[in-house]
């Protein structure tokens, strides 16, 4: 019988509980430790599976009882916890972003690069079967030379104002997933243009943030990528992608809540709304994200996004913020 990979979970908020369910369900992992600064939820979860519980994530990391950690704690804790894990030789799967300050990200960069410790970033959309299929078919040449990528990402409703205050704004919090997806198709991005507006969300307005944004990126070979974001969508979670090339196009459409359509005197083939929540839309992606992380820990080939991918996405998010504030195109060098 293959020995399970021992994992510690840091953070038991909304996304932490998604990871908890996947870690418990996985045949490849054993959830041995759970850490949270507010241990009540962690204790309740731990009791269901016999995991050890602590309020101190460093106790978990240095326990000797974990091969890897999933970091789902607030963003300001990420750099410290990644560094502690690297020092302890413990593999990391960390939710985005690495940090809101690129200086802190760069300060840890050389240590991560010099270590042999896997450090994976939670850009789960790369693992989405539909997006991954489109990328594979693009790379196979099915639509000829890639010329344009169009990404549409609209949430059903804005997050609470208190969260927005610590989120870093729409580009670092929401668009960062789409910026990573842009690099998934065209990794060598050289410039960024962005426009943002605050049209409807009082929480965003309170913190001087945008609730709507459009970003255009250009890759080194001239490929154009456009990203459209909104913090609300009356039809549900709007997640679409088109890859357009010299010989055709590939499209990913929205996932509906029902396969049933209605036709009557008022409408023809009327469809149900889109899935309402990102956890529904990307349920398979989160499972595959964990599978790829486990592969990396085992020394197998893995598709997990890396620390460098996390750094590149933050650079692009910062550039988009800069562009939206100044009205200027921003040149970036992701390789420096």
Task: Provide, rounded to the nearest whole percent, the portion of the chain with pLDDT above 70.
Answer: 100
Per-residue model confidence (pLDDT) at position 327 = 97
Task: Provide, rounded to the nearest whole percent, the portion of the chain with pLDDT above 90.
Answer: 89
Per-residue model confidence (pLDDT) at position 257 = 85
Per-residue model confidence (pLDDT) at position 280 = 82
Distance in angstroms (rounded) separating the CA atoms of residues 187 and 305: 12
Identify each DSSP E strand in 42-173 by its residue range. 52-54, 68-71, 91-94, 119-121, 146-154
Q: Is 207:201 a contact under the CB 8 Å cutoff?
A: no
Q: Is 71:94 a contact under the CB 8 Å cutoff?
A: yes
Per-residue model confidence (pLDDT) at position 8 = 98
Distance in angstroms (rounded) separating the CA atoms of residues 44 and 35: 12
pLDDT confidence tier of residue 1, bands split at 50, 70 and 90? low
- What dihedral do alpha carbons 16, 17, 23, 25 form, nearest 10°? -160
CA distances from 43 to 30, 34, 47, 255 (A): 17, 8, 6, 35
| Arithmetic mean of pLDDT, 99-121 | 98
CA dihedral over 182, 185, 187, 188, signed as positive or negative: negative
The pair of three-digit structure tokens given for residue 109, joined into one six-digit string: 């960069």
Domains of the chain listed by start with CATH number: 5-117 (3.40.50.720), 125-331 (3.30.360.10)
Q: Is 288 helix (H, G, I), strand (E, B) or coil?
A: helix
Q: Is 7:69 a contact under the CB 8 Å cutoff?
A: yes
Distance in angstroms (rounded) separating the CA atoms of residues 319 and 150: 19
Distance in angstroms (rounded) separating the CA atoms of residues 101 and 9: 24
CA distances from 77 to 83, 196, 287 (A): 10, 28, 24
Looking at the predicted structure, is the pLDDT value of residue 167 above 90?
Answer: yes
Looking at the predicted structure, is the pLDDT value of residue 2 above 80?
Answer: no
pLDDT tens digits for range 14-46: 999 999 999 999 999 999 999 999 888 899 999
Distance in angstroms (rounded) separating the CA atoms of residues 264 and 63: 64
Distance in angstroms (rounded) separating the CA atoms of residues 15 and 22: 11
pLDDT tens digits for range 220-270: 999 999 999 999 999 889 999 999 999 999 999 998 888 888 899 999 888
Per-residue model confidence (pLDDT) at position 289 = 98
pLDDT confidence tier of residue 276, bands split at 50, 70 and 90? confident
Distance in angstroms (rounded) separating the CA atoms of residues 12 and 138: 38
Looking at the predicted structure, is the pLDDT value of residue 299 above 90?
Answer: yes
pLDDT tens digits for range 46-91: 999 999 999 999 999 999 999 999 999 999 999 999 999 999 999 9
Write down the mean pLDDT value for the chain.
96
Distance in angstroms (rounded) separating the CA atoms of residues 23 and 32: 10
Say what the pTM is: 0.95
Distance in angstroms (rounded) separating the CA atoms of residues 73 and 246: 44
DSSP string spanning 177-231?
Answer: HHHHHHHHH---EEEEEEEEE--S-HHHHHTT--SEEEEEEEETT--EEEEEEES
Distance in angstroms (rounded) separating the CA atoms of residues 336 and 333: 6
Per-residue model confidence (pLDDT) at position 256 = 86
């Amino acid at each position: 019988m293959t020995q399970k990979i021992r994992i510690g979970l840091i953070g038991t908020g909304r996304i932490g509980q998604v990871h908890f369910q996947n870690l418990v369900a996985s045949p490849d992992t054993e959830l041995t430790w759970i850490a949270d600064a507010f241990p009540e939820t962690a204790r309740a979860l731990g009791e269901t599976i016999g995991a050890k519980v602590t309020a101190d994530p460093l106790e978990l990391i240095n326990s000797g009882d974990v091969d890897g950690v999933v970091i789902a704690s607030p963003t300001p804790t990420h750099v410290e916890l990644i560094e502690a894990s690297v020092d302890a030789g413990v593999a990391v799967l960390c939710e985005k972003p690495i940090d809101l300050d690129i200086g802190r990200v760069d300060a840890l960069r050389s240590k991560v690069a010099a270590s042999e410790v896997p450090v994976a970033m939670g850009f789960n959309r790369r693992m989405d079967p539909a997006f991954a299929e489109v990328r594979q078919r693009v790379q196979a040449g099915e639509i000829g030379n890639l010329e344009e990528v169009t990404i549409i990402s609209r949430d059903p409703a804005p997050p609470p104002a208190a969260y927005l205050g610590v989120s870093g704004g729409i580009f670092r919090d929401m668009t960062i997933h789409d910026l990573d997806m842009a690099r998934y198709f065209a990794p060598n991005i050289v410039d960024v243009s962005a426009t943002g507006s605050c049209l409807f969300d009082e929480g965003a307005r309170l913190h001087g943030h945008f609730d709507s944004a459009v970003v255009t990126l250009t890759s080194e070979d001239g490929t154009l990528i456009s990203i459209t974001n909104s913090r609300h969508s009356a039809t549900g979670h709007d997640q679409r992608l088109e890859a357009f090339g010299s010989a055709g196009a590939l499209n990913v459409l929205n996932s509906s809540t029902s396969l049933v359509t209605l036709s009557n005197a008022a409408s023809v083939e009327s469809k149900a709304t889109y899935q309402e929540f990102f956890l529904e839309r990307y349920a398979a992606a989160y499972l595959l994200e964990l599978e790829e992380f486990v592969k990396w820990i085992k020394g197998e080939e893995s598709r997990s996004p890396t620390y460098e991918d996390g750094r590149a996405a933050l650079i692009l998010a910062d550039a988009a913020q800069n562009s939206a504030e100044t009205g200027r195109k921003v040149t970036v060098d992701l390789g420096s």
